[in-house]
Homo-oligomer: A and B are copies of this chain.
Amino acid sequence: MLRTHTCGELRLSNKEREVTLCGWVQKSRDLGGMTFIDIRDRYGITQLVFNMKTDAGLCNKARKIGREYVISATGTVKERSNKNLNISTGEIEIMVKELKVLNPSEVPPFTIEEKTDGGEELRMKYRYLDLRRNPMKNNIILRYEMAREVRKYLDSIGFIEIETPVLIKSTPEGARDFVVPSRLKAGEFYALPQSPQTFKQLLMISGFDKYFQIVKCFRDEDFRSDRQPEFTQIDCEMSFVERDDILETFEGLAKHLFKKIKKFDYEGTFPRLPYVEVIEKYGTDKPDTRFEMLVQDITELAKGKGFKIFDSVEYIGGICAKGGAGYSRKQLDALTDFVRKPQIGANGLVYVKLNSDGTVKSSVDKFFSREDLNKWAEKMNGVTGDVLLILAGERTKTLFALSKLRLEMGKQLKLMDKDTFAPLWIVDFPLLEWDEENQRYHAMHHPFTSARKDDHHLFATDPGKIRANAYDLVINGVEIGGGSIRIHDKQEQAEMFRHLGFTKEEAEKQFGFLMNAFQYGAPPHGGIAFGFDRWVALFGGSNSIRDYMAFPKNTAGRDIMIDTPSLLSDEQLKELSLKVVNK
């Protein structure tokens, strides 16, 4: 080893020891007869000292060394007179005897400090330098620690990790599949998996009753800030289970991560809410439950009082912002602007202030009596000092807008503590979604999801009402994972494909191997998949999954560091029997 210790390791107890450290120059300072260099590696920072009086040659050498040079320094551990108690090595310094430049460095394109002056694009291009910064380094370490703890926990309860193939089969539905041309079979293609779904089901049929895999998945779609063309799933499947077994098993995993990574014990069991109820209460199926502020339906109370806007709509609902009666006219106008943004889509905002002096002030005083407004307040649990914020319109759209307004108020009232983690299981998702455009049903989760037994009769009468054996885990408003109990009966699977508008031939062609497998003893099974990148980002306290990947693509799906995607040589294209044509 070129070093005896790391830069985060030495303490007063190592005093007078001769050591060799290797690392990068964080910064250097010349103070009269002394030169100080902070040397950095993955583990920390240690101060090196050079004395002009005792070794002018060495000190002069040290003075020529710039930021980010890679150096090796040998010397003696000394107690610092000026201790820095903010860092773990701050009580000591190294009096250097020998200094080697292992590699010089150009001046980096941005400063490599906690906070950097580098723009997004520049930092992506020099990702390897950005990863030297503490916040980025810690993100990557957090990711590793979470992966390690996931594996440790699942291993401890009998799961085994099995690698499924990356070169699989494209399905006509898979407009979002990345494909891979085969050189040996001209004109044929593999596809990269959007998930290992069918393979994990086949593994259940093989008898591996507890499978997991931390696995790359791929989706060729337009990439928003929280999407990447390649992303990582914690993919899990179990046999001989029912829904609650899955929920309990993976609640255990989440609690393990809370404990090991976020260092707290989650008490009790995670709340569970049916989809219908969660939409009613929060306006969204990804609610942030760190704070209450439930949506209340006041349609019955607010209709028929002569306020035309309310009288003509399907739904009127609102939230009560605790302590918000002090909101100024300006603040309320800003909220009105907020809900009118196209991506929120409300037409306007009605407010009712329950002033501390006992008066009630609303934007609809003309149409509603004090008694009317009191009834609203009562329904919405509003008390003196609160403000009621009310939206009206088509039910689904209004609930959506209320969910956004609720989040905004949560933010403004500082109800979203970043150290609080509020998990929620959402269960009983609808099995099918009606697709207006194609006039047919889509599977809300995926076509392998089973319906709740007590809803099977609805296939004949009202398929849209069928509840699936499907569930999501949401933490602080982030959908961390989702899954379902699968169909394991060939006949039931065939019927599901029929409901989804597949012809028998299409179903056979795309999923024949799975349906065939169902004939040879498929066990009851179900599973879940977690978005690992998102979970890491949630625990890291950021919205951007990119910050938690070592080498992500930008929002255009491009790796600007290595500059890809890129053109192939004609030779390569010819070998693949391909020609690029214009769109």
Q: A180: which of B141, B178, B184, B524 is its contact (CB, 8 Å)?
A: B178
Residues 129-156 of chain A, each 1 if its beta carbon lies under 8 Å from chain B, else 0:
1011000010011011001100100010
Report yes or no: B170 in contact with A568, Cβ–Cβ below 8 A: yes
Interface residues of A in 192-229 (CB under 8 A from B): 192, 198-199, 202-203, 205-209, 216, 218, 220, 222, 229
Is A578 a contact partner of B578 (Cβ separation < 8 A)? yes
Contact B70 A522 (CB under 8 A): yes
A564 contact set on B, CB distance < 8 A: 167-170, 188, 190-191
**A215-255: contact bitstring with B at CB < 8 Å (1 yes, 0 no)?**
01010101000000110100000011110010000000000
CA A151 – CA B148 in complex, angstroms? 8
The answer to whether B168 and A562 have CB atoms under 8 Å apart is yes
Decide: B581 and A579 in contact? CB cutoff 8 A. yes
A518 partner residues in chain B, CB cutoff 8 A: 103
CB-based nearest B residue for A569: B172
* Chain B residue with Cβ nearest A574: B583
CA distance A229 to B1 in the complex (A): 37
Contact segment of A372-380, A445-453, A495-503, A552-560:
A552-560
Q: Does A576 contact B (CB under 8 A)?
A: yes
If A165-B230, A216-B163 touch, does A190 touch B565 (CB 8 Å cutoff)? yes
Judged by a CB distance under 8 angstroms, whether A106 is at the interface is: yes
With known contacts A108-B520, A169-B559, A566-B170, A179–B182 Cβ distance under 8 A: no
**Any chain B CB within 8 A of the CB of A181?**
yes
- Decide yes or no whether A519 CB sits under 8 A from chain B: yes
* A460 touches B (CB below 8 Å): no
How far is A523 from B41 in the complex, measured between Cα atoms in Å?
11
| Pair B578/A580 contact, Cβ less than 8 Å | yes
Residues of B within 8 Å of A569, CB to CB, are 172
- Do A230 and B167 contact each other (CB < 8 Å), given the known contacts A206-B128, A579-B578, A580-B186? yes
Contact of A565 among B22, B189, B571 (CB under 8 A): B189
Of B140, B183, B553, which one neighbours A208 at CB under 8 angstroms? B140
Contacting residue for A240 out of B1, B240, B572, CB 8 A: B1
Bound Cα distance from A8 to B1, whole angstroms = 48
What chain B residues lie within 8 Å of A558 (beta carbons)? 185
A169-B562, A184-B222, A578-B578 as given contacts; A550 in contact with B162, CB under 8 Å = yes
A583 touches B141 (CB 8 A): no
Minimum C-beta distance from A554 to chain B (A): 11
Set of chain B residues within 8 Å of A309, measured between Cβ atoms: none
A292 at the B interface (CB under 8 A): no
Is the beta-carbon distance between A163 and B222 smaller than 8 angstroms? no
When C-beta atoms are compared, the residue in chain B nearest to A215 turns out to be B216
Decide yes or no whether A273 CB sits under 8 A from chain B. Answer: no
Let me know if B105 and A520 touch, CB within 8 A. Answer: yes
A175 at the interface (CB under 8 A from B): yes
Would A523 and B167 count as touching, CB distance under 8 A?
A: no
Q: How far apart sit A131 and B208, CA to CA, in the bound complex (Å)? A: 9
Instruction: From the candidates B3, B106, B174, B179, name the one contacting A181 in the complex (CB within 8 A).
Output: B179
Q: Is the CB of A577 within 8 A of B582?
A: yes
Is A551 in the interface zone, CB < 8 Å from B? Answer: yes
Also in contact, A241 and B203, with CB within 8 A (given A163-B550, A169-B559, A519-B106): no
A84-112 vs B: 1/0 string, CB under 8 Å?
00000000000000000011111010000
Determine if A437 is an interface residue (Cβ-Cβ < 8 Å).
Answer: no
Distance in angstroms from A572 CB to nearest chain B CB is: 7
In the complex, whether A515 has a CB less than 8 A from a CB of chain B is no
Q: Is A530 an interface residue (CB 8 A)?
A: no
Contact partners of A141 in chain B: CB under 8 A: 160
Contact A1 to B245, CB < 8 A, known contacts A521-B105, A582-B577: yes
The contact of A186 among B566, B572, B583, by CB within 8 Å, is B583
Cα A24 to Cα B144 with chains together (Å): 38
Q: Tell whether A42 is near chain B: CB-to-CB under 8 Å.
A: yes
- Name the one of B22, B553, B562, B580 contacting A523, with C-beta atoms under 8 angstroms: B22
Q: Which residues of B contact A202 (CB under 8 A)?
A: 127-128, 551
A residues 477-499 in Cβ contact with B at 8 Å:
488-489
Of B167, B242, B559, B575, the residue contacting A553 (CB under 8 A) is B167
Chain B residues near A24: list those with CB within 8 A. Answer: 207, 521
Chain B residue with the shortest CB-CB distance to A513: B562
Q: A22-B523, A180-B192, A562-B513 are in contact. Are A577 and B578 (CB under 8 A)?
A: no
Measured between beta carbons, the chain B residues less than 8 angstroms from A583 are 186, 574, 577
Q: Which B residues are in CB contact (< 8 Å) with A347? A: none
Would B209 and A41 count as touching, CB distance under 8 A? yes
17 contacts between A and B (CB under 8 A): A2-B240, A42-B207, A102-B488, A103-B488, A128-B520, A132-B206, A163-B232, A168-B564, A170-B566, A174-B572, A178-B180, A179-B572, A187-B567, A189-B567, A574-B583, A579-B579, A579-B580
For the complex of A and B, the 9 pairs showing the least CB-CB separation, nearest first, are A188-B565, A169-B564, A131-B206, A105-B521, A182-B565, A187-B580, A2-B240, A68-B521, A144-B160
